[in-house]
A and B are shown apart, each in its own frame.
Chain A
Amino acid sequence: EAEVAQSPRYKITEKSQAVAFWCDPISGHATLYWYRQILGQGPELLVQFQDESVVDDSQLPKDRFSAERLKGVDSTLKIQPAELGDSAMYLCASSLSDGMNTEAFFGQGTRLTVV
């Protein structure tokens, strides 16, 4: 069964360091999302890609966060410098977006702890 792959699963980093997360969506899925989930809360969208283009990054803290999907396939989310408040689960999701299918499939997430 096709899955959204994310790595690493866990990351501990010191405040002010740089950190990066990687996501490989389900093959053929044009839409890719990065969500942040703070413990005890629902996921919140950080950035949405349609192929290699950013569709929505209104909630992305652009002074420290960046995201790219250069070839319209896999994607990287970067934080530099990391702050204590960035500790959360970072979830990647993808969807087919063919006009009929809207289901978003989530990966296992990357649990980030900033110390």
Chain B
Amino acid sequence: RKEVEQDPGPFNVPEGATVAFNCTYSNSASQSFFWYRQDCRKEPKLLMSVYSSGNEDGRFTAQLNRASQYISLLIRDSKLSDSATYLCVVNGGNFNKFYFGSGTKLNVKP
């Protein structure tokens, strides 16, 4: 079983839509969680950390469910510029080892 699993998509949505991605992780001892965004042929960039209480940054909301071992990312009012691959990342705990999901591709259409 993979450490981190994501639906690869693609998610094709119109501008203005709300879209949600989920990600599950296998290690219950995981301590920190992140969402990254990767544009084609570019490096991954940190989108937001995910906190136990949930957190929001503008149109983006991240949630963590430790009991079910999943994290989610909600994007409201999608923009064309949101088109990218979204990577779920989990820190393994004992050492600073990070586990990346394979990414969920989002295409926002006009």
The finding on whether chains A and B are genuine partners in a shared complex, rather than unrelated, reads no
Q: Which B positions have Cβ atoms within 8 angstroms of A?
A: none
**Taking beta carbons and an 8 Å cutoff, which residues of A are in contact with B?**
none
